[in-house]
């Protein structure tokens, strides 16, 4: 607190966003607006042995903070920015901070990020985490808890960084990928529930890209798999009813977007419907 350096903030330990919000609330509650305006200095330091490198140095007034926090997500915001930190697995390499710091800078400047740019970041992070969510060596084993946490946090982060816009407002192409993902997730659960769980079952969930042709392929694989299934008819009818309720209104993607990767929305659908 630049106006009151003796002011001590609570160490939230729940991530960058929660910390700044907590600091803001404390300053706001202690300010007599007729006398002064509170101001925060935010510093991000990188410490290598005895060397300290300043990565971010930003001043924020109460007016700026009020503008930033005027559309607060009514959700759990703990560690949402930290979802953008890449932590290499089975390696002594240090975490990769670039995307995390990029998001923090945009937040502190009060500059909304373009939807396409943020979704691209999310998709890249999804690809790095995908092997955590789906263990192909064990057939269709799904780590749905980690995956659902990822999609929940990135959805909240999207709302924070895109000026309060909800992730739930999907374009027609995004909705197509999302609904086929829901059907694919339900299919995996169906096959496991009826004891038909070949090692190849997870194949539809491990493609490197989900453009229009791959989404059509997944839907075709699911349709064929249900037709050839030895499950009881009532089980198959139950699955088919789910498909009828969730099948996209159109299977067509605009020509100029047919090669775009819709993995983020496909897998969001998968992990919302998988048991």
pLDDT of residue 84: 94
Give the tokens for residue 95. Answer: 């975490």
pLDDT of residue 27: 83
d(CA 118, CA 101) in angstroms, rounded, equals 13
pLDDT of residue 140: 56
Taking alpha carbons only, the member of 99, 106, 86, 108 closest to residue 42 is: 108
Contact 177, 269 (CB under 8 A): yes
pLDDT of residue 61: 84
Taking alpha carbons only, the member of 268, 193, 208 closest to residue 238 is: 193
pTM of the model: 0.86
Helix (H, G, I), strand (E, B) or coil at 185: helix
* DSSP calls for 218-260: HHHHHHHHHHH--S-HHHHHHHHHHHHHH--S-----GGGTTS
Q: pLDDT averaged over consecutive 10-residue blocks of the chain (275 residues)?
A: 84 93 85 63 83 87 84 83 86 87 91 89 90 66 84 93 84 91 92 76 83 91 89 92 86 70 94 85
Contact 58, 77 (CB under 8 A): no
């Amino acid at each position: 607190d630049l106006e009151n350096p003796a002011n001590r903030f609570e160490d939230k330990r729940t991530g960058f966003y929660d910390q700044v919000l907590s600091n803001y609330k404390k300053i706001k509650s202690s300010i007599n607006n007729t006398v002064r305006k509170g101001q925060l200095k935010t510093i991000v330091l990188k410490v290598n042995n005895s060397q300290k490198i300043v990565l971010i140095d930003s001043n924020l007034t109460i007016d700026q903070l009020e503008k930033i926090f005027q559309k607060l997500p009514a959700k759990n915001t703990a560690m949402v920015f930290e979802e953008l930190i890449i932590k290499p697995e089975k390696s002594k390499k240090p975490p990769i901070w670039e995307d995390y710091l990029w998001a923090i800078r945009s937040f502190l400047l009060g500059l909304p990020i373009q939807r396409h740019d943020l979704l691209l970041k999310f998709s890249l992070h999804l690809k790095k985490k995908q092997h955590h969510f789906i263990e192909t060596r064990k057939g269709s084993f799904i780590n749905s808890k980690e995956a659902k946490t990822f999609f929940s946090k990135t959805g909240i982060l999207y709302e924070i960084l895109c000026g309060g816009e909800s992730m739930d407002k999907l374009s027609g192409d995004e909705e197509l990928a999302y609904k086929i993902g829901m059907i694919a997730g339900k299919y995996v659960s169906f096959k496991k529930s009826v004891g038909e769980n070949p090692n190849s079952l997870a194949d539809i969930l491990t493609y490197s890209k989900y453009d229009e042709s791959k989404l059509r392929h997944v839907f075709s694989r699911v349709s064929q798999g249900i037709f050839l299934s030895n499950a009881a008819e009532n089980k198959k009818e139950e699955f088919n009813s789910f498909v009828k309720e969730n099948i996209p209104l159109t299977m067509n993607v605009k020509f100029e977007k047919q090669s775009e990767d819709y993995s983020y929305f496909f897998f969001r659908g998968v992990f919302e419907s998988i048991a």
